[in-house]
Structure 1
Amino acid sequence: MGRLVVVSNRVGPLKDTGRAGGLAVALVDALMETGGLWFGWSGNVSEEGSFGQMKTQKTRSVQMAQVDMTQADYDAFYAGYANRTLWPVLHYRLDLADFDHRFEQGYRYVNDRFATRLKPLIQDDDVIWVHDYHFLTFAASLRAMEVNNPIAFFLHIPFPAPEILAALPNAAGIVRAMLAYDLVGFQTERDASNFRRFVIEELGGIDEGDGHLRVNGRVVIAKAYAIGIDADAFSKFPMTPDARKNMTRLEKLLGGRQQIIGVDRIDYSKGLPERFKAFERLLEDYPENRGRVSMMQVAPPSRSELDAYIDIRRALDELTGHVNGRFSDLDWTPIRFMTRSFPRRVLAGIYRVSRVGLVTPLRDGMNLVAKEYVAAQRAEDPGVLVLSRFAGAAERMPEAVIVNPHSAEEVAAGLQRAITMPLEERRNRWQVMFDRLCQEDAAAWSRSIMADVKTIRRA
């Protein structure tokens, strides 16, 4: 295999700044190993009439290349089809989807333009690895330009059941474009099965077993590859100076009380209003926790220009005020709600001093917070993960307390179980999950996909 060419909506950083997301952290090692190119959007919006100049930067064996978008392209591609149409549909929220046909046109146009900019940089023996819902049609654009390199794709968010996806106008056309990839990877077996079902039921594909689909005379691999973290490295973060300083502050603030921690972007897929209501239910149904257990929710905003996100932020502020007004005491505040982000090392310290990690998305591709919470725990006295059955992580973390996030009563009961769980049971559950995290880490995820890419044979 020659170079690795990674395509994603945003590029870098190659150096761990402590704030990089799961995708960036997971890709850096793969790029460093083979050398290669990381290509994507610069994050800048340029003047109308120009798609923006290519900006390149080389760091060691990896070149980064970024292009701007015009405002019109940003509105149709990113704010439009990617986040007003695809994001809600892929998260099973048809009620929030905007099906403006102009968005799809703009989406395909930007995929074409990005492919046009990338093509001159591609070498004959490169392997191209494209990421996430922003680039579903990207391989079809490259194939139209006679690019015959192996092209893999990985979807970091859920892929819905065919009955849901069918509501997307031209769903068949979008999935048909995805079949220009040689490999289509998903977070969970449920997501991969949903994709294969759609191809078989709607496009006449044939299931050849082991995740291989035959469609229109060619074979496409469609399998689950659960993304991981560097669990061993993350487990050391709580001992760094930044983490220790903040752990000391938190422990002093808690004064021996127990803390439930949630860390999520403000997004309707994360189930945050439902989570706040479940915590209120905990205080109602199990009043012994009043004054003894608090919840901290770290929730930096995202896509704040969209109405749905504005509504969620308003609802969370109101719920926080309601619960705190109802249950607060002179020396105890039930909910601490912070709309800011923290470096990963600081978060590791927050995780470690929290008895319960609460990860309850209504739908999620994987959710690496669940894995980071487990990795940050003390082996001798670990906390307990309470995890939504609809998070991708639930497939590989059955030792967590699994709950239905739509049921405040069930989540409250799960929290009570976690708070009162005996030490030996906490240790046993944690050890199994931590060992699996170390085995199924980010490097193993990348290697498994690249191993399947090597089996691809193109004419």
Structure 2
Amino acid sequence: MRQSSLVVVANRLPLDDNAAPDGACEWRRSPGGLASALHAILQQTPATWIGWNGGIDSAPVLPDVGTLRIRPVSLSSEELQGYYEGFANSTLWPLYHDAVEQPVFDRGWWETYRAVNQRFAEAAAELAEPGAAIWIQDYHLQLVPQLLRELRPDVLIGFFLHVPFPPPELFMQLPRRAELLRGMLGADLVGFQRPQAAHNVAQLAVKLFGAEATDDQITLDGRTVRTGAFPVSIDVTEMQALASRPDIVEHAEQLRADLGQPRRVLLSVDRLDYTKGIEHRLTAYSELLRDGRVKVRDTVMVQVAVPSRERVDSYRVLRDRIEGEVGRINGEYGRVGEPAIHYLNQSFDRADLAALYQTADLMVVTPLRDGMNLVAKEYVAARSDNSGALVLSEFAGAAAEFEDAFLVNPHDVDGLKETLLQAMDADPADLQRRMAAMRDQLQRHDILAWARTYLTALDHTGRLAAGLRR
């Protein structure tokens, strides 16, 4: 089997669930998704991507995408339940997001998680050529770096955590905390969204292993692991081009007409997840309607909630709660043909998202905790005329880069209400200044800059970064 000098290992492949009849495949492009972040650089860069194809008990041969080779890893229904729905998304996900939802500790899930991580590590070991770089992505595969090092000590190993890393007092709750931390520290370079995460890991390495550690490097078992913050970004050029297409502009105008030509359109686009602050946002908007500070005919809210982890009980319960609250708000404040909230529990393609971004006067991104939040960056990229306002949670990684957004604590419903009104009533010149500053920041720190910075840190020769093409 042909081997690669760059191998990306992620939970999911960047493909749609099904190949087209002609055998072609398309990128899976979910809002804020890993494939959305990486597609721009890997579609034109020789590499291999290893991941689960979304099916059960099958790993079909899939066609390449440009210069990217696709290699699926199979999961059984039991493995999907224990590794993905269980340990990754019912134990690690809530704990890594400040325990917004109580994490579940199930001893059986750990063994499944470890077995699946071993399978990913073995696939990477097989497909990597001597001295290759292997770039492992996210919390689903936190054991893979150390497992891979045991199999292939000759390769460069990078690990990037796209979600937050919790403070030590939360991480210490994990029954398998030492194995998880050692697994991640099997990498040569561990990347995070924010510097605080590297600090948290350094503290844990000292506490659990007695390692020598700073926020930049950790020495453990005679080997030095480098750590650092590398904030992920988007393909700015692609979103700008998409948002300026005549058909997209026309679609945005039609959307506004369909919404009744309101004076202001508020938009939120989230995965349906308890970390996204959707319920807090609905409460704030409902109270603004109740108090008469927002009128339905004058202002409309569009909430896109992309289906997510529908087999996990807590997500089904969340969906029911949100749909019930939207129904209550529309029943109480809506009019015939004029709902207070347009709620869409469905996925949108890139073109439809670009049109929505063009339609929105306010983009409301208020997660309770988020590693980065690429939807915020996509909205800024789409606003080529520097119009629009971004209301952004202080607890999203993007807040560190978008200081000119209307920053808010989403836990403070009264503060959220006031910030929404401030953004709605802001002077247009102030909005232009804020958006121009955010667009300048984003254009200087796009997805290519992120990948080059990370891969240069991983491979000091510059060979990997030089291979990235647009």
TM-score above 0.5, yes or no: yes
Separation of aligned partners in 2, 1:20 and 1:375: 14
Superposition deviation, residue 405 in structure 1: 0.8
From 11, 14, 19, the counterpart of 1:12: 14
* Structure 1 contact 8–131 (Cα < 8 Å) conserved: yes
Superposition deviation, residue 95 in structure 1: 4.9
Which residue of structure 1 lines up, in the alignment, with residue 90 of structure 2? Answer: 84
Which residue of structure 2 lines up, in the alignment, with residue 217 of structure 1? Answer: 222
Would the alpha carbon gap of residues 333 and 8 (structure 1) be closer, same or farther in structure 2, given more than 3 Å must change? same
Separation of aligned partners in 1, 2:95 and 2:279: 20
Separation of aligned partners in 2, 1:95 and 1:251: 36
Which residue of structure 2 lines up, in the alignment, with residue 49 of structure 1? Answer: none
* Amino acid in the other structure paired with 2:457: D
Query: Larger deviation: 147-156 or 243-252?
Result: 243-252
Query: Larger deviation: 34-43 or 126-135?
Result: 34-43
Superposition deviation, residue 402 in structure 1: 0.7
From 91, 94, 117, the counterpart of 1:111: 117
Structure 2 residue ranges without an equivalent (≥5): 16-24, 462-470
Which residue of structure 2 lines up, in the alignment, with residue 385 of structure 1? Answer: 390
Query: Larger deviation: 95-104 or 245-254?
Result: 245-254
Superposition deviation, residue 144 in structure 1: 2.1
Separation of aligned partners in 1, 2:346 and 2:59: 32
Which residue of structure 2 lines up, in the alignment, with residue 447 of structure 1? Answer: 452
Which residue of structure 1 lines up, in the alignment, with residue 52 of structure 2? Answer: 41
Separation of aligned partners in 1, 2:292 and 2:204: 45
SS in structure 1 at match of 2:130: coil
Superposition deviation, residue 59 in structure 1: 4.1
Query: Larger deviation: 64-73 or 285-294?
Result: 285-294
Superposition deviation, residue 260 in structure 1: 0.5
Separation of aligned partners in 2, 1:419 and 1:59: 43
* Structure 1 contact 32–62 (Cα < 8 Å) conserved: yes
Separation of aligned partners in 1, 2:277 and 2:359: 23
CA displacement, residues 327-355 of structure 1 (integer Å, 9 cap, x when unaligned):
22345321111101111221111111211
* Amino acid in the other structure paired with 1:356: L
**Residue correspondence of structure 1 range 134-283 to structure 2 within 5 A:** 134-208=140-214, 211-240=216-245, 242-253=247-258, 254-283=260-289
Structure 1 residue ranges without an equivalent (≥5): 47-51
Separation of aligned partners in 2, 1:136 and 1:17: 23
Query: Larger deviation: 65-74 or 192-201?
Result: 192-201
**Residue correspondence of structure 1 range 411-450 to structure 2 within 5 A:** 411-450=416-455
* Structure 1 contact 183–222 (Cα < 8 Å) conserved: yes
Q: TM-score, normalised by structure 1?
A: 0.92
Which residue of structure 2 lines up, in the alignment, with residue 401 of structure 1? Answer: 406
* Structure 2 contact 95–103 (Cα < 8 Å) conserved: yes
Separation of aligned partners in 2, 1:125 and 1:30: 21
* Amino acid in the other structure paired with 2:270: D
Superposition deviation, residue 320 in structure 1: 0.9
CA displacement, residues 164-210 of structure 1 (integer Å, 9 cap, x when unaligned):
1111112122101111111111111222222222223332222346x
CA displacement, residues 370-404 of structure 1 (integer Å, 9 cap, x when unaligned):
11111112425x11100111111111111111111
CA displacement, residues 219-240 of structure 1 (integer Å, 9 cap, x when unaligned):
1111111011122321222233
From 340, 350, 359, the counterpart of 1:344: 350
CA displacement, residues 246-291 of structure 1 (integer Å, 9 cap, x when unaligned):
3122221332421100000111111111110011122234525443
Superposition deviation, residue 325 in structure 1: 1.9
Number of paired residues?
Answer: 448
SS in structure 1 at match of 2:383: coil
Would the alpha carbon gap of residues 20 and 406 (structure 1) be closer, same or farther in structure 2, given more than 3 Å must change? closer
Would the alpha carbon gap of residues 31 and 291 (structure 1) be closer, same or farther in structure 2, given more than 3 Å must change? closer
SS in structure 2 at match of 1:123: strand
SS in structure 2 at match of 1:349: helix
Separation of aligned partners in 2, 1:18 and 1:94: 26
* Amino acid in the other structure paired with 1:301: P
SS in structure 1 at match of 2:56: strand
SS in structure 2 at match of 1:96: coil
CA displacement, residues 48-71 of structure 1 (integer Å, 9 cap, x when unaligned):
xxxx55735334432111121122
| Sequence identity percentage | 35
